[in-house]
Structure 1
Amino acid sequence: MNKEFAGPDMAVTPRFGQRSKDSFARARQVFPDGTSRVTIERDPVPIYIERGVGSHLFDVDGRRFLDLNCNFTTLIHGHAFAPVVEALTRQIQRGSCFANPTESEIELAELLAARIPRVDRVRFVNTGTEAVLFAIKAARAFTGRSKIAKLEGAYHGAYDWGEVSQASTPENWGDPYAPRSTAIYRGTPTSVLDEVIVLRFNDVEGVRGLLSWHAHKLAAVVLDPMPSRGGLVAPKPEFIAAVQESASDNGILVIADEVLNLRQSFCGASARYGLVPDLVTMGKIIGGGLPIGAIGGREDVMNVFDTSAGRPLLPQGGTFSANPLSMTAGLAAMRYLDHGAFAHLEVLGNIVRDGIARAISSRGAHLCVTGAASLFRIHPRAQVPNDYREAYPTAAAAMLMKQLTRFFAENGVILPHGAAASISTPMTRADVKFIVDVFADFLDRHQDQLDAIEVRTHG
């Protein structure tokens, strides 16, 4: 990387420092693989972070990185956002959690209900996984049916039914017109696999046929409007229409999983793409950097949680659900996430995606970029994929993307490997130009390898 592209303290450096090495050695003595999350990236050592400020991270070795991970897209305002810090400081002095409700949970629910279409009522939980878990249970309680349909390759948290076919491979994903239900972990009950119908993203005829064929047993179709793990590809309007019509015709509820993609607009991703869900799952950005999840939706469907007349159709609790710290932080973050903030993110996102696309085109590289709003993802293939199968990389392509992540780290940028990169509100045009410059330099330095990649589509 040429020094002229680098900002202050962002000259080329090793991927990790000595203190990160030492910390990982300690961690291996107390954690099964040295970490507490399977999503922690290591190459071969994780970068241990000391603090975050705005759009940057500082590791334990004192190095600065522009953060495109944002804790897996959560930190839309970056690190240590002052309004959140101030709100949390006030709240922690009053107490961290109570068995009783607080007014802050009402205020955050009111904000979400006013902003997100089809959210008449809200229920708070602690994680995105819990949000999807209870949305599926709510659909079952409302319809009296047990099966769900979901997209191949889409991530919906660590819930058995939501995990089905999350990580299918060419060796096991089966027929292109009727994808196989595959397990993500050894010991997954066969009954779980039998209760999940797997759909291919953007497959109009497939979704119509499979939803109609299994309609009498389907409670819901769980749909991420733009699956990050599935390629961060935009949905075709006709696909959204097919899901909507097939579900409506057959009494199947539509669950929009917007835990990640709520950040796509002031009103969320469903509104952006014309999806009209019955339930919406939310998380990440609505917590201001603290653990949170939420289920929202139609009043009649959400009434399965109602205890007014005694035991509800679906009991739901949680010691830390709607805790005042998460509610307070989320409220502060969301109040500052106004139309102006989204317009800023949209501009920066367009600059990054357009700049990356131009760099690819000018060099004839076998790569492409996808995404929308404040999200983007680079793919080791010449054509934009339509779904998870087309986005699935060859071994050589996967190695190239690993080298891309390494190159970015060596040049002071944290770029997620095989997942969505995200822009935060503190970022500037200079920051996003730097991202494009680093990427262009990577292309120039790896031209031979790019030319040698076998470009093929799995299907």
Structure 2
Amino acid sequence: MSATSSHSSDKVAGAPDIDDLAARARAVIPSGTSRSTLYVPPAVPMARSGRSAWLTDESGSRVLDFNNNYTSLIHGHHFEPIQRAIAEALDEGTSFGLPTRREVALAEHLRDRTGHEQWRFSNSGTEAVMQAIRCARAVTGRDLIVRFEGSYHGTSDPVTDSDRPGITCAEHETVMVLPQGSLAALQTVFGDRGDDVAAVLIDLMPNRAGLEPADPEFINAVRQLTTRHGSLMIVDEVITFRLALNGLGPSYGIAPDLATFGKVIGGGLPVGALAGRTDIMSAFDAKTGPLVAWGGTFSANPLTMAAGLAAVQAYDQPAIDDLNSRGNQLRHCLSDAGVKVNGRGSLMRIMEKVDVSDLWWALYRRGVFAGTNALLSLSTAMTHEDLNLAADAIVDAVQAVRS
């Protein structure tokens, strides 16, 4: 079967007029979507439903979902253990003004899995990073945050480029942005202002910067310099946690002071998490102050906690090894066919020098739904046939856009 033949154009019963729906969306939502990362000109398709590895849009087209809500749907759509867990939690209530046993159960599982001693849940990776920065500044009594060009850590002011509209000039004074992997720049900062640095925030395989795994020598230097100067090392595992049972950090032989999580630990529902050593996380301890007061009406809501626990329990070591192996095979297949692609395990990104919007549409029309920057993430729901179809479609799409 060819890749293009898997892309069904059969209309879904009751499907709305797509042009009308798009116009309605633009009338009430800027650009027709609440998420800037989803927009593809001239207008992004709208999802209708998902089953297993496939998504059906409002026009009735079925596409293999390699977007997976930007890597969060590790088991694809309608995964039965997650569906069941949500239904059981929903029967007890949607949210409460009290903590629940489900929050405790997920925190215990993640602690045992990763070694991070304490956890706090939020509603997004953005919120988790915001908490990490606030915590680092509170614990160290310092202001300066060091981060790296091209790494995406959400949309809060400290992690948004200071030349963007809406970001104050004051961010220049409290956030320093260095070139990716530049040991010389990092050493200069610590040599000049080491006593001012509250934390270094780093992604070990940043998607926006090209999904290139970080150099181990550089990561070890970050750990050594932060330790020597009394700064904290914050590792952003929001995307990379899926690559190993305990996250990507341990594969570099380092133990960060704080780590942020999201995506797969929510089972498809809104989630973020901050984790770290007990002495650092005590900044949030309400019994002793706290140094950092941080609420969140829907943080650790029982539906997310139930879905997240079901998701991570099913994503055990054999499942991780299998998915990473299949991802590596797909990446090697694409490389052998002449497609430039970066990544590791179940995450990859097409790095062709073509118009990314043209590439996105070329993939979509051939039945492959990618991230808007050509990010591809596998799910456990994908079969070998799915991956073979995808490989053919991706090669064909790249060749078409090149020409």
Question: For the superposition of Structure 1 and Structure 2, which TM-score range results when normalised by the shorter chain?
Answer: over 0.9
Map 1:92-103 onto structure 2 (within 5 A).
92-103=90-101
- 1:372 corresponds to which residue? 344
Match of 2:323 among 341, 345, 365: 345
Q: So what's the TM-score if we normalise by structure 1?
A: 0.83
Q: So what's the TM-score if we normalise by structure 2?
A: 0.95
- 2:369 corresponds to which residue? 414
Corresponding letter in the other structure for 2:163: A
Map 1:263-412 onto structure 2 (within 5 A).
263-309=242-288, 311-360=289-338, 368-380=340-352, 397-399=353-355, 401-412=356-367
Corresponding letter in the other structure for 1:135: A
- 2:382 corresponds to which residue? 427
- 1:127 corresponds to which residue? 124
3-state SS in 1 of match to 2:307: helix
The C-alpha deviation readout for 1:23-46, integer Å capped at 9, x for no partner, is 111111111222211112333121
Query: Quick one: distance in 1 between partners of 2:35 and 2:400?
Result: 33
Q: 1:11 to 1:222 in 2, by over 3 A?
A: same
- 2:133 corresponds to which residue? 136
3-state SS in 1 of match to 2:64: strand
Is 2:233 the counterpart of 1:254?
Answer: yes
Query: Quick one: distance in 2 between partners of 1:301 and 1:439?
Result: 45
3-state SS in 1 of match to 2:212: coil
Q: Which aligned segments of 4 or more residues in structure 1 are displaced greater than 4 angstroms?
A: 6-13
The C-alpha deviation readout for 1:55-108, integer Å capped at 9, x for no partner, is 110111221100111111110111111111111111111101111111111110
Query: Quick one: distance in 1 between partners of 2:277 and 2:396?
Result: 49
- 2:36 corresponds to which residue? 38
* Cα RMSD (Å): 1.9
Contact 2:129–2:260 (CA<8 Å) still a contact in 1? yes
Unaligned runs of 5+ residues in structure 2 are none
Unaligned runs of 5+ residues in structure 1 are 165-181, 361-366, 381-396, 450-459
Match of 2:153 among 153, 156, 162: 156
Q: 1:419 to 1:6 in 2, by over 3 A?
A: closer
Match of 1:215 among 194, 202, 218: 194
- 1:167 corresponds to which residue? none
Q: Comparing 39-48 with 80-89, which one deviates more in the overlay? A: 39-48
- 1:168 corresponds to which residue? none
Query: Quick one: distance in 2 between partners of 1:42 and 1:19?
Result: 19
Contact 1:11–1:412 (CA<8 Å) still a contact in 2? no
Query: Quick one: distance in 1 between partners of 2:397 and 2:101?
Result: 51
1:212 Cα deviation after fit = 3.0
The C-alpha deviation readout for 1:340-382, integer Å capped at 9, x for no partner, is 110121111111110110000xxxxxx52110111001112xx
* Identity fraction in percent: 39
The C-alpha deviation readout for 1:119-169, integer Å capped at 9, x for no partner, is 1111111111110000111111110001100011111111100113xxxxx
